[in-house]
Amino acid sequence: MSGFTRDVVSTPNAPKAIGPYSQAIKANGFVFISGQIPLDPATGNLITGGIEAQTEQVLKNLTAILQAAGTGWEKVVKTTVFLKSMAEFGQMNEVYGKICKNAPPARSTVEVARLPKDVSVEIDVIALA
């Protein structure tokens, strides 16, 4: 495994990991960001509001981790969006589209039975370092 690099990325500007995982891992030119939910990093509490507010907070958390890793949204190559209800896809997509305007990354969006803390949205990211 000569030449392999693997570094933990952590920032107080995003929620602390609530389990045995890292906020992100920087490895061989990529950044793999764990799924983020709408937690306020300052309080550790879920933000209030509907899918739009939750999506905004998730994107803020992801932005903070991207910055801590020394990269940004322009280098994001893939996202996965997990929704509690596909009926909220349009509202999530409108907020998501504000941050991923030019040359948006590849994306998968799936409806799931349940998310941590019963939130409505979780997003993970793969970016170039």
Per-residue tens of pLDDT for the chain, all 129 residues: 567 889 999 999 999 988 899 999 999 999 999 999 999 999 999 998 999 999 999 999 999 999 999 999 999 999 999 999 999 999 999 999 999 888 899 999 999 999 999 999 999 999 999
Biggest alpha carbon distance in the chain? 48
Closest CA to 60 of 17, 122, 118, 14: 14
Residue 5: per-residue pLDDT: 87
* CATH numbers and ranges of domains, the chain: 7-128 (3.30.1330.40)
Strand-pairing partners, residue 76, are 127
Count other C-beta atoms under 10 Å from residue 51's C-beta.
23
Residue 4: per-residue pLDDT: 84
User: What letter represents residue 67's amino acid?
Assistant: Q
Residue 55 — φ and ψ, nearest 5°? -65, -40
Residue 42: per-residue pLDDT: 95
Residue 29: per-residue pLDDT: 96
Per DSSP (E only), the strands in 6-114 are: 7-9, 24-27, 30-36, 76-83, 106-111
Residue 2: per-residue pLDDT: 67
